[in-house]
Structure 1
Amino acid sequence: MNSSLFLSQLLNGLQLGVLLFLLSSGLTLIFGIMNFINLAHGSLYMVGAFVGAATYNASGSFLFSLVAAVASAAIVGLVVEHLVARPLYRHDHLYQVLATFGLMMFFNELAIVIWGNRPYFVTIPEVIRGSVQILGASYPIYRLLIIAVGVVVAFGAWYLIQKTRFGMLVRAGTTHASMVSVLGANVDLLKKSLFMLGAALAGLAGTLAGPILSVQSGMGDPVLILALVVIVVGGIGSIRGALFAAILIAVIDTLGRAYLPGLLALVLAPTAANTVGSALASMLIYLLMAFVLAFRPHGLMVSAKR
């Protein structure tokens, strides 16, 4: 096994895991703390990607595009919370699923109306376009930047929810809303703020993914499925669980797709190995989810007493 190739694939898995964490952390906060299922969360990821790409292509400033994308996703999240989520907080999850699924379809069609049905491309800024040597393996600087951003956001999100007054009020307001309201806290404002935070994180993930993926309508749908797997494996409502599960799932998926066909080629014909290996690689994360649900139904990082 080529050690440089293995290290590159491992870093690719880590980078994918960071993007999954940025998306799933907001989703797990909204679902786990607010008890609201938002299937349109992937659309906020798409909004961030499109706004970031369009803004960068127009201005040439990556930092400005990053701010614009995060702000746009947060504003869209605020509108979604006020018009769609707020009236459905006290209804069954089925109503939430149906409403946000329809909203997801709306955003996909709206993206086609605004930006067209073809992929919308954006280049990596020149200043971070090169590569660095890591233990003999050449790896892009931009992907390392994504990993660094994810680490900073992970710590910041955990600290905000677990160690600040805002986080304390949010956690208390979701279980004892009337008591928190009597004590003077604005529960509706707390929910809006949390929803905007989750949307902003999704927008950040989208704009960071833009230069390495094709930005197009519906790009948030497949990644939403992965994000749902992440929050099930890590534990609903847990930032630590989202980070751990996102990296675990991304690394397993990346290494499986890279090496499983080759390993099966040792016992199968090359054509059959490629076919079976690709199919099995795409199933690995779902097998992991099934295993976790069977033995740790609350998630890897959430205790049963929670």
Structure 2
Amino acid sequence: MDFANFLIQLLNSVQYGLLLFMLAAGLTLIFGIMGVVNLAHGSFYMLGAYLAWWLSSSTGSLVLAIVLGAVLAAVFGLVLERLLFRHFYHRDHLDQVLLTFGLIYVFEELRSILWGDDVHGVTIPDALSASIPLTDTLSYPVYRLFMSGVCIVLAIGLYVLISRTRLGMRIRAGASNHAMTEALGINVKRIHAVVFAIGVALAAVAGMIAAPIASVYPNMGSQVLIMCFVVVVIGGIGSVRGALVAALLVGAVDTFGKVLLPQVSGMLVYMLMAAVLLWRPEGLFKQ
């Protein structure tokens, strides 16, 4: 593999890893802070992809569609948390699994009713449709760099929110000691609603920015859900920093594995997870 091909695969692995982080960050926040096993998290990724297709077709702008879609996804998360998830915080994980597994089928049926079962494509904006030449024959799409840039900005924003703001302090306090946080007069239910909305919005944004290169099709959320759980387990349940490191590791192993070891590439990510769990059963980072 020459340097240009190595650079392309490295950029692809970083872009894929950052996209996985967008999904896994919301999943690990919801599970680590609220204690909810959310099997329907992949459906929010699908929701984002369909919103990108629908809103970009209506407005003519993918960027505007992403902004509007993120707002709609956050509102949807608030409503869903208030109507359903709030009543399952203190229930057994089996009850949560049954609820969220059922929601997968509900969301798929609603998707079919609203947008049909056809495969759709989302057009890349003209300003992002160019490619950067690396050699005489190889180039790298600008849109993939845009995807990585969006993920990096949101990752920094999430870090600042959790580590440097009063809301983040309350989120960390609620995750550490729920009873004491409530005794101090903090509305933990409101914090849980905000965390759930953030998780849904992150997954939806991941689906929206991935739509132009991955297409929009039924049941697309189920394919990314397993990989998200792998990232969460490797990084450590409840750790956003762990989700970032694990997502980049998974992205590198998966991308370079398909190029260098295609015969066993489907096993490599799970072998990585097994190795990490043998070394550190709690994952790379604790909450």
**TM-score relative to the length of structure 2:** 0.95
Please give the alpha-carbon distance, in whole angstroms, between the structure 1 residues aligned to 2:174 and 2:12: 38
Q: Which one has a bigger Cα radius of gyration?
A: 1
Match of residue 42 from structure 2: 42
CA distance, structure 1, for counterparts of residue 79 and residue 227 of structure 2: 25
Quote the Cα distance in structure 1 between the aligned partners of 2:260 and 2:114.
Answer: 40
Distance in 2, matches of 1:230 and 1:140, equals: 26
Match of 2:183 in 1: 182
| SS at structure 1 position matched to 2:140 | strand
Q: Which runs of 5+ in 1 are unaligned?
A: 262-276
Q: Return structure 1 stretches of 4+ with deviation > 6 angstroms.
A: none
* Cα distance between partner residues in 1 of 2:34 and 2:160: 18
Residue 112 of structure 1 and its aligned partner are, at CA, apart by 1.4
Partner of 1:28: 28
Q: Is 1:52–1:68's contact at 8 Å kept on the other side of the alignment?
A: no
Q: For residue 62 of structure 1, report the CA deviation from its aligned partner.
A: 1.8
Q: 1:243 to 1:135 in 2, by over 3 A?
A: farther
Deviation for aligned residue 1:79: 2.1
Indicate which of 290, 297, 301 corresponds to 2:274. 290
Aligned-pair distance for 1:180?
2.0
CA contact (8 A) 1:48 1:202 kept: yes
Asked whether the equivalents of residues 132 and 140 of structure 2 are also in contact (C-alpha less than 8 Å), the reply is yes
Counterparts of residues 241-280 of structure 1 (less than 5 Å)? 241-261=242-262, 277=263, 280=264
Deviations 1:116-166 (A, max 9, x none): 112111111111100113587511111001111111111211121122111
Quote the Cα distance in structure 2 between the aligned partners of 1:43 and 1:68.
18
Report 1:124-273 matches (<5 A). 124-134=124-134, 137-261=138-262
Q: CA deviation at 1:72?
A: 2.0
Indicate conservation of the 8 Å contact 1:241/1:301, yes or no: yes
Consecutive unaligned residues of structure 2, counting only runs of 5 or more, are none
RMSD: 1.5
TM-aligned CA deviation for residue 177 of structure 1: 2.7
Distance (whole Å) between structure 2 residues aligned to residue 193 and residue 218 of structure 1: 27
Judge which range, 228-237 or 164-173, deviates more.
Answer: 164-173
3-state secondary structure, aligned to 1:132: strand
Aligned to 2:54: 54
How many residues get paired? 286
